[in-house]
Amino acid sequence: MHRTVVLLVCLLLSACATTSRAPVSEDVEGTQPVSEGEPSVTEPPSRVTLRMKDTTLGEVVRRIGQESSARLVLMNGIERSRIKRISFVNAEPGVVARKLAETARPRKEAAGTAGFAVQECAGYFFIFPPDYDLLLDLSLAGKLGAPFEERVDRVAFGAYVPLYTVLAWLGRALEVTIVADNAVAAARCGELALSDLPLDQALEAILKSARVAGVTVDATEEFVFLQARDNMSPHSSLLNGDDLTAEQREHLEQRVTVMLPHPPSGADGLRLVGDARRLEDVLDPLSEQLGVPVVAEKGLGELPVNPAVFTQVRVQTALDLLVRQWLVLVPEFGYQFTGDRVVIRRRTAQEKAG
């Protein structure tokens, strides 16, 4: 099923905000005249008409995203690059991307630096410093599977938004489950403006903007999980699966929607929490949403829990995704359904070995 969502979240650090000057009126070499039959204001044009000066690369991309359907993505860290003057008239997105990459200059420019590079991807243009060409190998095409063949109408995020915030908003808006482990989720996104493209392309662009290269994608009919390659947390962390009662098995199979650190109240929507919370702080809302008390072994209450949305997943899946987020080089944590409660605990030496 294909669904469409409009998702506009621009959370910018005040230190990165700039003020635009009035548009300039000079003619620009190499642009094309606006032809008749351009899309109406309700359907943003894919071509770009824009004039700005004394501004930044991030602000230009933001304006382009507001006024057109051009798909541009900046790697985090280059949004404050200076642009003395830029002007486009009915310019194609590829022309825009390459001109921006050529024109923008870092605030602390090294001698001989000749601007940024551009990668033309299936659904967007990615602007990045040449030294980060490792990001060019990242591709999610065909890796998410049929349950995630959504189309995203518009996505606009400002620089430095945590990746876990982006994934939580995408999951909430599309009613899917997209989660990353703590190593991946802590990355900060770059300025980006995307429109009308498949979810796999949008997610790929978001990861590139956040400088996430080494990532493993695990996609099932229930979820997409993004995991650092050195994270050895297993697919499932249920420690007593062979000893469950029929009632416990039935409960683990129930479908739930879980919002962490806690569900919204009234019409508040999904609350954007800036930082991870401690495990001990989310146990009560987690228990309420799973329909079973969840407790943690002494000493585990300080483990970090990022904001996340699990949509219509099994109770067991929600618990697995929670534990799987903790970055470990060997399986370290798990949970046990004992009596009428779930206990999150460390694995024994035998459990680690087996």
10-32 confidence digits (pLDDT tens): 433 322 333 333 333 233 333 33
**pLDDT for position 113:** 52
Q: What is the mean pLDDT of residues 111-125?
A: 82
**Hey, which residues does 333 pair with through a beta bridge?**
346
Taken in order 265, 269, 270, 274, is the CA torsion positive or negative?
A: negative
Please report the pLDDT score of residue 109 as a whole number.
Answer: 52
pLDDT at 5 over 60: no
Q: What is the mean pLDDT of the chain?
A: 85
Indicate if the pLDDT at residue 33 is higher than 90.
no
Tokens encoding 67: 């006024």
Q: Quick one: pLDDT band at residue 145, thresholds 50, 70, 90?
A: confident
Provide the pLDDT confidence category of residue 270 given band limits of 50, 70 and 90: low
| Among the listed residues 81, 263, 258, 276, the one whose alpha carbon sits nearest the alpha carbon of residue 163 | 276
pLDDT of 265 strictly over 50: yes
Average pLDDT over residues 263-278: 69
**In the prediction, which pLDDT does 90 show?**
96
% of the chain exceeding 70 in pLDDT = 83
**pLDDT of res. 234:** 92
3-state DSSP assignment of residue 3: coil
Specify the pLDDT at position 266. 61
pLDDT of residue 108: 67
* Contacts of range 4-8, beta carbons closer than 8 Å, 24 or more positions apart: 4/150, 4/151, 4/152, 4/153, 5/150, 5/152, 5/153, 5/173, 5/174, 6/153, 6/154, 7/152, 7/153, 7/154, 7/155, 7/156, 7/169, 7/170, 7/173, 8/154, 8/155, 8/156
- Asked if pLDDT for residue 281 goes beyond 70, the answer is yes
